[in-house]
Structure 1
Amino acid sequence: MKPAALLVATALFAAMPTPSPVQAKEVASADYSVGPQYDTTHVYVPEAKFDAFVASFVATFGGSISKQGEFQVTPTKSLTKSQLARTPAGTVSVFGFKTPIPYPFGDERTGYLVTDIDAAVASAVKHGAIRRIATFPDPIGRDSVIQWPGGVNMQLYWHTAKPNYAPLATTPENRIYLTEDVADRFITGWTGFARGKILSDDRAAPGAEVGQPGKTIRRVAIETGYGKMVVYVTDGQLPWPYGRDMTGYEVADLSATLARATAAGVETLVVPYSTGGRQAAIVRFPGGYIAEIHTNMGK
């Protein structure tokens, strides 16, 4: 290239607008979430306990249920009862398989609706997740199962026809239990993918929150377009049933909620206790699903 032409090209390049750091970050970390009301905890129960679980969940939290059906929801041959229970405190997708459950299903804790399944999966992999199964079609859309550092499994899904649900009264929290050697990798990956905001990071939270009185733990509260998440960083030496509770549900009146739960056949595993700014209990629904229920104190 002649010197004059080189000078012209250099001047043109210098005159071109460059993206700001904020713009570059937005391109690298697009938000594929739709809203917490479209995200569900996946609950697998024995077929014989299916109806009892659904009835007890709605009796505890209120809400409504979708029409029950039998579907093949995996890419390999299988058959499951399936139903959606939508409540003001959160939604569950319930599965009662009539056949053996194909790998890797049953390990995923949540299903998150995304705007673009292929782009969302690619972004998750970029931020440190692995695909446990290639994206596949289901009766109403497309799905993939991914795993984050620490063994946190979740399903990303996309619907052919976007559903239209009203916002939740309270947003449930995805409760993650990790050890120190993997917690930061998970938190960095998840917040990068989900464009998450760390609301608090308490490195001296009371161990009583996870059944370890006398110890301190780290508690990280995260909020994203997919909803709330709390990460408990512990030594892993957790007494039953801590670590088995996948979701925490916020209610206005814990005592009244537990009374409804008990009447519906729900077992209280940890009686109400106060810690971390909340009054909470841990329960087990018919079929084995374990959940935390809490009221935020001072509201």
Structure 2
Amino acid sequence: MRKLAYLAAVSLVLSTPAAFARDAAAADYAVGPQYDTTHVYVPEDAFDTFVASFVATFGGSTSKQGEFQVTPTRSLTKSQLALTPAGTVSAFGFKTPIPYPFGDERTGYLVTDMDAAIASAVKHGAVRRLDAFPDPIGRDVVIQWPGGVNMQLYWHTAKPSYAPLATVPENRIYLTADAADRFIASWTGFAHGRVTADNRAASGAEVGQPGKTIRRVAIDSGYGKMVVFVTDGQLPWPYGRDMTGYETADLAATLTRAKAAGVETLVAPFTANARQSAIVRFPGGYIAEIHAAAAQ
């Protein structure tokens, strides 16, 4: 009898809203890094050139181009995916003014359950910049993490099916010490992220600060890779403008293809923190880092 009463009590505790909230907060809503896209906003007249240059640089293919309203308020944009072995971008070329708060969300992450993912993100320190809204193929929300890091979460009515990536790109986050620990705790809690490296004496050369040391934190999760650069914020241009880092097996060959496609090298290849790196600007203004492992 006591055992039955005990089991009933346990069942009652586990069925409470608080218990369900804990279960929901502990869930992982990631689908996979091939569904994570960098959002690239370019002028409408540079849209086709940008998409072509990105695919020419990294290979791959594109989705069918269309014109859609992708915001909850009236707007119209060209929209297309560039799906490459090194990472995917969602390109937008607005034909109308861009409504707030769109244009400064760095990435879109596909989730399995929109409402549960939003609740988990908020529980882990994010805020919604607007309520979730329907788009032509699903639902979206834009959230902000500590330190002002803006991201989109999205959900599709019909789950897409993309090939796995050959190399997983990095979401490159630049923060000062004021926000770094709060952001890292929030993101790893939400994303079930694992800190794979935390170097508090990394070379500042990687962020344009030779002679200085920085903190460099690498994080892996079901959403892909992330690197957090914790600096004094006194970064020379174009550092901090590079939202994504793309890994390639041969940096020189990649830059040669990029140049032929009209991509400008802003920072020539250099070696720091066990990698060879360059920063480029694609037609339309998108700035990205490209890297390869340094020769041993």
| Pair in the same fold by TM > 0.5 | yes
- Is 1:51 aligned to residue 53 of structure 2? no
**TM norm structure 2:** 0.94
**1:218 paired residue number:** 215
**TM norm structure 1:** 0.93
**2:18 paired residue number:** none
Q: How many residues align?
A: 290
Distance 1:117 1:227 in 2: 18
Of 6, 28, 35, 1:12 maps to: 6
Of 122, 132, 156, 1:125 maps to: 122
Q: CA deviation digits over 1:177-196, x for unaligned, max 9?
A: 00001000000000000000
Distance 2:284 2:135 in 1: 25
**2:25 paired residue number:** 28
Distance 1:70 1:218, change over 3 A: same
Q: CA deviation digits over 1:228-259, x for unaligned, max 9?
A: 00000000000010000000000010000000
Q: Provide the secondary structure at the position in 2 that maps to 1:108.
A: coil
Distance 1:28 1:70 in 2: 36
- Is 1:64 aligned to residue 58 of structure 2? no
- Is 1:111 aligned to residue 108 of structure 2? yes
**1:73 paired residue number:** 70
Gaps of 5+ in 1: 1-6
Question: Cα distance, 1:114 vs. partner?
Answer: 0.2
Question: What fraction of aligned residue pairs are identical, expressed as a percent?
Answer: 79
- Is 1:173 aligned to residue 173 of structure 2? no
Question: Cα distance, 1:8 vs. partner?
Answer: 4.5
Q: CA deviation digits over 1:48-88, x for unaligned, max 9?
A: 10011001000000000111100000000000000000000
Question: Cα distance, 1:29 vs. partner?
Answer: 1.9
- Is 1:243 aligned to residue 240 of structure 2? yes
Of 164, 169, 176, 2:161 maps to: 164
Question: Cα distance, 1:296 vs. partner?
Answer: 1.4
Distance 1:218 1:25, change over 3 A: farther
Q: Provide the secondary structure at the position in 2 that maps to 1:123.
A: helix
Gaps of 5+ in 2: 15-20
**2:224 paired residue number:** 227
**1:83 paired residue number:** 80
Q: Provide the secondary structure at the position in 2 that maps to 1:137.
A: strand
Q: After the TM superposition, which of the residue ranges 209-218 and 289-298 deviates more from structure 2?
A: 289-298
- Output the amino acid matched with 1:214: G
